[in-house]
Amino acid sequence: MKKLELKNLDVQEMNTTEMSKVNGGGILNDLLSNTVATVGITVSVLATNLVGFLGYTLNKLVGAILS
């Protein structure tokens, strides 16, 4: 197996200090994180509202049937 020389591909080596300072991700990672968080909050609110609506509706139906 041949050794891949990254220096020939203009790849710069990083030491441990440089690697610890790099967060990575950039715009795409931020967009994905924010989208996932927004979708999670939206689904949570919709589920809470749906459960509340179903509880209210069933309560009214059972009340109407029993009265």
pLDDT, tens digit (0-9, with 9 covering 90-100), for 28-64: 777 888 899 999 999 999 999 999 999 999 999 999 9
pLDDT of amino acid 36: 92
**C-alpha radius of gyration, the chain, whole number:** 27
CB within 8 Å of 7: residues ≥ 6 apart: 13
Closest-CA residue to 29 (of 20, 37, 40): 37
**Does pLDDT of 3 surpass 70?**
yes
In angstroms, the first-to-last Cα distance of the chain is 83
